[in-house]
């Protein structure tokens, strides 16, 4: 055999082995996806909006503006909402699919084992069951056919097969969209806003650290004077109408209808939940840290909240009211919200919605503008039961009852599928972890009519219409702020507020109820069925204000003395106080405000925590001889409490507060096996008195100085120079950002903190998920934290990010201009 | 003609770099005389290579292979033919690469087969990879966006070069 033959054979062998190796190994999948020219992933780069789409619902047109916001025009609503489904799916299909997978407990099916715990929770909570019940109710309303048209519009994109890049990265194709999926989106956002197991945490702290400590660290009522409905404003703005219950007349307000029930409700909650109720104290431990830790993963993200305010036309240049709104929700890539504009003979509506929801949720039509912030209401109750040894039955109403059970499969990609047994009691789902159980009743676990209400908001013709529609807005509990083109203004708490009783006495909900004894039940509530308002606070008795001249919501306490228990999970008052301070100052100065004033207020970065704490810190540092301390003290002394991205003082303060909190609470909490998620809020930290037991071993001043040394050391070690070096947009991630970091938005330094009006929480990736300022019937501006498209290759993927950082809002007008980008052709004929 | 001769000579002169490349210089045209006398092939070795009775590979492969090698040799040695053949091979390779990643291997094989040596075949395959990437980026549009797609883009760029280079090994066989 010649050398040449051997050489040829070797080369041939290498060639065959190379090709065979590639074809038969996992490299083949990579090449099929990402090889140049033929890679399937590159089809995503070729996605172009079609010139023409066929629709079974009639003709429509779609125009995109310079920011990628679609304007849908149609002669009837089904045709319009088919097109809305189409544009939402084209721009956000992966987001749609991912969200429903999360809520259905089908995430593991595409991402594998890592999501099993998440899926187990969502399956056990049976959000799908609640969405199905909701669809049964909504299907027969005027909104029902439009939801179906929307779903068909989404499916038109799926059927066309032109899928976004993420589907190729994960290697799957979406299933058809259904109306139930849209209802699931309502459940998801409602859960994100109101899903709260705070009473379990409070009980755990009481068990581990004592009821007194829990009472000090988790006050049922923070001692501040800026609720949403202020006494000082009552007389000026909502008091004295004397027209109780007459919505058309000015002046019917919660404050005027409230008669000092707080002592019996909120105060009682504190007593019963944390101090005197021995059963409640042991209840936290009965749930157990494993179950609580698991549940905490699925609660509202820390910092979820929002700002909104309204000033009447008497305080604006144009003479029309102005509403400003920025919801603080999870910041992500692409944004949580999608902006759309729909023109039909019935309405002209533009604003933001969640992908998967057909109708504008927060926005404006030709007659008014509306917005929602979170109330912080307690709409989730926890129950413990006497359960038999086999775990098949629970004690209730003096008898043993079988759990309602259902076996559900959780498919797992590249792993073993799981089976979850969904168990339900008369109150709702029963959740279990490591042998510990807790029953859950949540107002979202029933058929709800919010979809109908939102649809009606878009078609409303002024305040009276909106008030009527608000009656059907039963989920979630929100601070509705509205103004119309006639100059009317409105504040109303939406959603159902449960009324609980024990032995016939009304009690608050921040405790763990004995479900076997029938404690704290909600009359009229049918989990996974259709409920009534019986057993909930009547609409007229919910906090509200008609025609307030100025009103601001920032998730703070709604009212000092509510008629009915609302909740205890309110935000710290810093944002609310700052907004009211600036609005009051403008009004007192007699300067009429305009849109620019309100945008500037949205951009406010003054931190009330610093105003409270920094003087004390500087006192503690007085006489410091150490260079680092002296430099830090000088920097903080010259700082004006503004959380600007280029501020050194803001950096020092933010990191100092982190270390101060840790130094104060870590020793006791650590010994008790409680991690930092149990630490109290900033208001408690800032107001914790020097004689608190937490300062027994180290005085408050010493803790402050030590924390500053920690902060300076950390800043030096990390190489940070200004606040933006730490407070960046790095936490605004894409769900696949770990594996495909290019999908994340570019990292930029950011302003704001969790306590500033311009809200940004770098630790949790929460902040202003949408900003808008609207003069009903007039001008409007808005901005998204990123872009309107979720398509990585779209120019509108991140084209609003820089403007969002600067709060440079774009126009949110309702004109129909420009060439038609896509013609939706009806084939009904 | 001088350019072609220079390229052939260049290939022959690289014997110190790679034994395979060295011997291969004449492999397509003169498998026995693989010591760098590529100029012989360029001068008319095409027919002699096909007809050389002592060439075991030629004998084993039969007349078909012999004719193929003969034609390839003719193309390799005639720049007026080879250049358009190169262009055609690149276009065909692009077309194949457009429908399947194995097309990148085929494209590299095609341009490699038209090259005077294995070494030059690999170089030509790498050039084909550059062409693929240029066409790819032109097709995709936002080049910066694709370049940022790390680590995905590493697969894309690596396969654009590695697969054609793999295909070019065929030049050492034929």
Question: Which of the two residues, A112 and A18, has the higher pLDDT score?
Answer: A112
Q: How many CB atoms lie within 10 A of CB A361?
A: 22
CA separation for the pair A491, A291 (Å, rounded): 38
The verdict on residue A148 lying in a domain is no
Distance CA A363, CA A350 (A): 6
Phi-psi region of A807 (alpha: psi -120 to 50; beta: other; left: phi over 0): left
Tell me the residues of chain B between 13 and 72 that have a Cβ less than 8 Å away from chain A: 20, 23-24, 27, 31-32, 34, 56-57, 60
- Residue where the block lists tokens 């809200």: A759
- CA dist A340 to A334, A363, A374, A790, Å? 15, 10, 23, 14
Q: Quick one: angle between helices A608-621 and A627-638, nearest 10?
A: 140
Other CB atoms within 10 A of residue A599 CB: 18
Q: Hey, are the CB atoms on B104 and A793 less than 8 Å from each other?
A: no
Rounded CA separation A773/A804 (Å): 13
| Long-range contacts of A26-33, Cβ-Cβ distance < 8 Å, separation of 24 or more | A29/A171, A30/B155, A31/B101, A31/B155, A31/B159, A31/B163, A32/B101, A33/A168, A33/A169, A33/A171, A33/B155
| Pair (A554, A650) in one structural domain | no
For position A806, what pLDDT does the model report?
A: 97
Query: Do residues A83 and A153 make contact, with C-beta atoms less than 8 angstroms apart?
Result: yes
Q: What is the mean pLDDT of residues A576-590?
A: 95
B132 part of contact set with chain A, CB < 8 Å: yes
In this predicted structure, what is the pLDDT of residue B171? 82
A2 touches chain B (CB under 8 A): yes
For residues A726-756, one letter each, b for 16 or more C-beta atoms within 10 angstroms of the residue's C-beta and e for the rest, the string is bbbbbbbbbbbeeebebbbbeeebbbbbbbb
> Do A365 and A244 have their domain in common?
yes
β partners of residue A365: A349
CA A792 to chain centre: 24
Enumerate the residues of chain A whose CB falls inside 8 A of the CB of residue B152: 34, 41, 169, 740, 742
Question: Average pLDDT, stretch A54-73?
Answer: 97
Contact predicate A291/A450, CB 8 Å: no
Number of domains in chain A: 3
The whole-number pLDDT of residue A64 equals 97
Using the predicted structure, report yes or no on whether residue A227 has a pLDDT greater than 50. yes
* CATH label of the domain that carries residue A668: 1.10.1400.10
What length does chain B have?
174
- Of A292-296, A445-449, A678-682, the least confident: A292-296
Q: What angle do CA A563, A565, A566 make, to 5 degrees?
A: 110
Residue A221, CB-side half-sphere exposure with 13 Å CA sphere: 23
Q: Are residues A250 and A368 in the same domain?
A: yes
Residues 6+ apart with CB under 8 A from A712: A628, A629, A632, A652
Q: Between residues 787 and 806 of chain A, which touch chain B (CB distance below 8 Å)?
A: 792-793
| pLDDT at site A682 | 95
Assess A37–B contact: CB distance below 8 Å, yes or no. Answer: yes
Mean pLDDT for A523-532 is 95
- Asked if the structure places residue A433 within a domain, the reply is no
**pLDDT digits over A184-194, tens only?**
999 999 999 99
Q: Are residues A684 and A551 in the same domain?
A: no
Reported as type and span, the H/E element at residue A291 is: helix A289-296
User: Which among B23, B98, B101 is the nearest to A31, CB-wise?
Assistant: B101
User: Looking at the domain assignment, is residue A355 inside a domain?
Assistant: no
Q: Report residue A760's pLDDT band, with 50, 70 and 90 as the boundaries.
A: very high
pLDDT-derived band at A629, boundaries 50, 70, 90: confident
Share of chain A above pLDDT 70, in %: 93
Nearest-CA distance from A47 to chain B in Å?
10
Q: Name the residue among A88, A49, A51, A50 with its Cα closest to residue A788.
A: A88
Could you say which residues from 688 to 747 on chain A have a Cβ atom under 8 Å away from some Cβ of chain B?
A: 740-742
User: Cα–Cα distance between A149 and B56 in angstroms, integer?
Assistant: 73
Q: d(Cα B35, Cα B32) in Å, to the nearest integer?
A: 9
Q: What residues of chain A lie within 8 A of the CB of B31, using their CB? A: 4
Alpha-carbon gap: B109 to the closest alpha carbon of chain A (Å): 10
Domain ranges of chain B: 1-77, 81-174
Higher pLDDT, A332 or A14: A332
Mean pLDDT of chain A, nearest integer: 90
Cis preceding-peptide flag for A52 (omega within 30 of 0): no
Rounded average pLDDT over A461-475: 96
- Average pLDDT, stretch A322-327? 98
How close A547 gets to chain B, by Cα (Å)?
Answer: 50
Q: Determine the Cα–Cα distance for residues A760 and A769; give it in Å rounded to an integer.
A: 10
Q: Which residues contact A669 (CB under 8 A, 6 or more apart)?
A: A209, A675, A676, A678, A679
Tokens of A155: 């499916």
Q: Which sign does the torsion angle of CA A239, A243, A246, A249 carry?
A: negative
The predicted structure's pLDDT at residue A232: 62
Of A277-291, A434-448, A733-747, give the lowest mean pLDDT range.
Answer: A277-291
- A285 falls in which pLDDT band (50, 70, 90)? low
Residues A568 and A625 in one domain: no
Furthest-apart CA atoms within chain A: distance in Å: 111
Closest CA to A269 of A694, A480, A540, A570: A570
Measured between alpha carbons, how far is A689 from A219 in angstroms, rounded to an integer? 14
Does any domain span residue A149?
A: no
Do residues A568 and A627 share a domain?
Answer: no
Confirm or reject contact between A820 and chain B (CB < 8 A).
no
Asked if A697 and A567 sit in the same domain, the reply is no
Note the pLDDT of residue A283. Answer: 56
| pLDDT, tens digit, 9 for 90 and up, residues A196-206 | 888 888 888 88
Task: Determine whether the interchain pair A19/B100 forms a contact, defined as Cβ–Cβ distance below 8 Å.
Answer: no
Whether residue B20 and residue A7 make contact (CB cut-off 8 A), yes or no, is yes
Q: B98 and A37 in contact by Cβ < 8 A? A: yes
Same domain, A454 and A498: yes
According to the model, what pLDDT value does residue A50 have? 92
Q: Half-sphere exposure of residue A717, counting CA atoms within 13 Å on the CB side?
A: 7
Residue contact B155–A18, C-beta within 8 A:
no
**How are beta strands A338-343 and A70-74 bridged, if at all?**
parallel
Within A392-442, residue ranges assigned H as helices are none
- For the ranges A134-143, A388-397, B10-19, the one whose mean pLDDT is highest: A134-143
Secondary structure class of A562 (helix, strand, coil): coil
pLDDT at A274: 29
Same domain, yes or no, for A639 and A556? Answer: no
Residues A371 and A479 in one domain: yes
User: pLDDT at position B146, please?
Assistant: 86
Nearest chain A CA: its distance from B99 CA (Å): 5
Other CB atoms within 10 A of residue A397 CB: 9
Reduced to 3 states (helix: H, G, I; strand: E, B; else coil), residue A773 is strand
Poorest-pLDDT segment among A53-62, A82-91, A815-824, B46-55 = B46-55
| Maximum C-alpha span of chain B | 58
Residue with tokens 């023409």: A52
A742 within some domain: no
3-class DSSP state of A424: strand
ipTM over the 0.90 cut-off: no
Please, are residues A94 and A790 in contact by the beta-carbon 8 Å criterion? Answer: yes
3-state helix/strand/coil string of A770-806: CEEEECCCCCEEEECCCCCCCCCCCCCCCCCHHHHHH
- Which pLDDT value is given to residue A302? 66
pLDDT tens-digit map of A8-18: 788 888 888 88
Instruction: Please check whether residue A802 is in contact with residue A818, taking contact to mean a CB–CB distance below 8 angstroms.
Output: no
Instruction: Give CA–CA dist A143/A595, Å, rounded.
Output: 33
The per-residue pLDDT string of chain B (174 residues; one tens digit each, 9 = 90 and over) reads 333 333 333 333 333 333 333 333 333 333 333 333 333 333 333 333 333 434 444 445 566 777 777 777 777 777 777 788 888 888 998 999 999 999 999 999 998 888 888 888 889 999 999 999 999 988 887 788 888 888 889 999 999 999 999 888 888 777
Whether residue A772 has pLDDT greater than 60: yes
Share of chain A above pLDDT 90, in %: 75
- Distance of alpha carbon A419 from alpha carbon A277, whole angstroms: 38
CA distances, A530 to each of A125, A126, A136, A525, A533 (Å): 17, 16, 9, 8, 10
Closest CA to A217 of A278, A288, A274, A281: A274
Contact present, B134 and B94 (Cβ < 8 Å): no
Query: What whole-number distance in Å separates Cα of residue A710 and Cα of residue A658?
Result: 10
**Element (DSSP H or E) covering residue A431:** strand A429-433
Cis, bond preceding A215 (omega within 30 deg of 0) = no
Is-contact A752 A182, C-beta < 8 A?
A: no
The pLDDT value given to residue A430: 96
Say what the pLDDT of residue A327 is. Answer: 97
- DSSP character string of A95-107: HHHHHHHHHHT-S
Whether A228 and A301 share a structural domain: yes
Same domain, A452 and A565: yes
Residue A721 pLDDT greater than 90, yes or no: yes
More confident residue, B148 or A734: A734
Q: How many residues comprise chain A?
A: 829
Flag whether pLDDT at A797 surpasses 60: yes
Asked whether the beta carbons of residue A14 and residue B169 sit closer than 8 angstroms, the reply is yes
Domain span at A29: 3-38
**What is the tens place of the pLDDT at every residue in A343-379?**
999 999 999 999 999 999 999 999 999 999 999 999 9
Q: What is the mean pLDDT of residues A84-104?
A: 97
| pLDDT for res A624 | 66
Chain A, residues 150-169, CB within 8 A of chain B, namely 169
Q: Residue A533: helix, strand or coil by DSSP?
A: coil
Q: Is the peptide bond before B151 cis (omega within 30 degrees of 0)?
A: yes
């Amino acid at each position: 055999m010649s050398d040449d033959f051997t050489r040829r054979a070797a080369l041939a062998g290498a060639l065959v082995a190379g090709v065979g190796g590639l074809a038969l190994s996992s490299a083949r999948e990579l090449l099929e996806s990402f090889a140049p020219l033929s890679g399937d992933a590159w089809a995503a780069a070729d996605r172009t909006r079609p010139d023409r789409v066929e629709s079974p619902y009639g003709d429509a047109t779609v125009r995109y503006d310079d920011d990628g916001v679609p304007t849908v025009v149609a002669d009837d609503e089904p045709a319009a909402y088919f097109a809305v489904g189409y544009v939402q799916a084209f721009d956000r299909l992966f987001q749609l699919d991912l969200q429903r997978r999360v809520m259905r407990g089908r995430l593991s099916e595409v991402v594998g084992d890592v999501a099993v715990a998440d899926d187990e929770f969502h399956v056990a909570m049976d959000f799908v069951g609640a969405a199905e019940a909701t669809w049964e109710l909504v299907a027969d309303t005027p909104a029902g056919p439009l939801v179906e048209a929307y779903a068909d519009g989404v499916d038109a994109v799926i059927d066309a097969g032109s899928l976004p890049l993420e589907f190729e990265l994960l290697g799957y194709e979406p299933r058809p969209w259904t109306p139930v999926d849209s209802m699931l989106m309502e459940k998801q956002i409602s859960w994100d806003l109101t899903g709260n197991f705070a009473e379990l945490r409070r009980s755990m702290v009481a068990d581990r650290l004592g009821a007194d400590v829990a009472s000090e660290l988790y006050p049922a009522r923070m001692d501040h004077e800026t609720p949403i409905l202020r006494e000082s404003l009552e007389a000026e703005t909502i008091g004295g109408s004397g027209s109780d219950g007459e919505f058309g007349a000015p002046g019917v307000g919660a404050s005027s209808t409230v008669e000092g029930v707080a002592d019996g409700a909120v105060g009682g909650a504190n007593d019963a939940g944390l101090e005197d109720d021995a059963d409640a104290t042991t209840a936290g431990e009965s749930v157990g840290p494993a179950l609580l830790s698991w549940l905490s993963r699925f609660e509202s993200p820390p910092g979820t909240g929002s700002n909104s305010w309204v000033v009447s036309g008497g305080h604006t240049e144009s003479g029309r009211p102005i509403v400003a709104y920025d919801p603080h929700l999870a910041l992500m890539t692409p944004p949580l919200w999608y902006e759309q504009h729909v023109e039909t003979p019935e309405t002209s509506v533009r604003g933001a919605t969640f992908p998967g929801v057909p109708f504008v949720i927060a926005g404006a039509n030709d007659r008014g503008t509306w917005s929602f912030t979170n109330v912080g209401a307690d709409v989730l109750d926890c129950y413990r039961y006497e359960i038999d040894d086999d775990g098949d039955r629970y004690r209730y109403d003096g008898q043993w009852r079988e759990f309602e059970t259902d076996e559900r499969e959780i498919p797992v990609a590249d792993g073993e599928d799981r089976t979850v047994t969904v168990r339900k009691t008369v109150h709702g789902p029963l959740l279990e972890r490591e042998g510990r159980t807790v029953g859950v009743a949540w107002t979202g676990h029933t058929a709800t009519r919010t979809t109908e209400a939102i649809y009606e908001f878009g078609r409303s013709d002024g305040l009276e219409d909106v008030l009527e529609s608000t009656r059907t807005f039963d989920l979630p509990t929100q601070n509705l702020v509205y103004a119309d083109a006639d100059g009317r203004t409105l504040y109303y708490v939406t959603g159902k507020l449960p009324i609980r009783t024990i032995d016939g006495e009304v009690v608050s909900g921040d405790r763990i109820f004995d479900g076997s004894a029938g404690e704290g039940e909600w009359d009229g509530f049918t989990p996974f069925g259709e409920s009534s308002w019986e057993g909930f606070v009547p609409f007229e008795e919910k906090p509200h204000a008609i025609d307030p001249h100025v009103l601001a919501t920032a998730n703070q306490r709604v009212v000092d003395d509510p008629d009915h228990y609302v909740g205890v999970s309110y935000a710290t008052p810093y944002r609310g106080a700052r907004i009211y301070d600036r609005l009051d100052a403008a009004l007192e100065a007699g300067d009429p405000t305009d849109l620019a004033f309100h945008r500037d207020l949205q951009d406010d970065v003054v931190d009330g925590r610093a105003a409270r704490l920094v003087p004390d810190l500087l006192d503690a540092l007085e006489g410091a001889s150490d260079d680092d301390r002296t430099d830090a003290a000088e920097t903080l002394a010259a700082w004006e409490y503004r959380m600007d991205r280029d501020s050194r003082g803001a950096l020092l303060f933010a990191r100092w507060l982190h270390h101060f909190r840790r130094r104060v609470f870590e020793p006791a909490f650590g010994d008790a096996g409680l991690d930092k998620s149990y630490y109290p809020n900033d208001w408690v930290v800032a107001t914790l008195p020097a004689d608190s037991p937490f300062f027994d071993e180290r005085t408050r001043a010493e803790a402050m100085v030590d924390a500053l040394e920690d902060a300076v050391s950390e800043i030096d070690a990390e190489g940070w120079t200004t606040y933006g070096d730490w407070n960046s947009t790095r936490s605004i991630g894409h769900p696949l950002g770990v594996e495909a970091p290019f999908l994340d938005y570019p990292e930029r330094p950011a302003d704001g903190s969790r306590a500033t009006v311009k809200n940004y929480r770098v630790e949790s990736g929460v902040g202003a998920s949408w900003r808008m300022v609207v003069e009903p019937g007039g001008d409007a501006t808005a901005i998204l934290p990123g872009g309107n498209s979720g398509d990585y290759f779209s120019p509108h993927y991140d084209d609003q990010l820089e403007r969002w950082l600067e709060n440079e809002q774009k126009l949110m007008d309702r004109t129909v201009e420009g060439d038609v980008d896509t013609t939706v052709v009806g084939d009904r004929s | 003609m001088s350019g072609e001769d220079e390229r052939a000579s260049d290939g022959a002169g690289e014997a110190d770099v790679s034994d395979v490349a060295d011997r291969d210089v004449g492999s397509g045209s003169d498998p026995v005389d693989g010591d760098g006398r590529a100029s012989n092939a360029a001068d008319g070795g095409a027919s002699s290579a096909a007809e050389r009775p002592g060439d075991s590979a030629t004998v084993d492969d039969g007349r078909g292979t012999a004719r193929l090698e003969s034609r390839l040799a003719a193309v390799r040695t005639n720049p007026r033919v080879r250049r358009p053949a190169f262009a055609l091979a690149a276009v065909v390779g692009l077309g194949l690469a457009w429908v399947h990643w194995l097309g990148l291997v085929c494209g590299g094989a095609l341009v490699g087969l038209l090259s005077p040596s294995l070494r030059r075949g690999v170089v030509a395959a790498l050039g084909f990879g550059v062409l693929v990437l240029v066409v790819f980026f032109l097709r995709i549009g936002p080049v910066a966006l694709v370049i940022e797609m790390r680590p995905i883009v590493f697969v894309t760029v690596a396969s654009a070069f590695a697969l054609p280079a793999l295909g070019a090994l065929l030049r050492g066989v034929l």
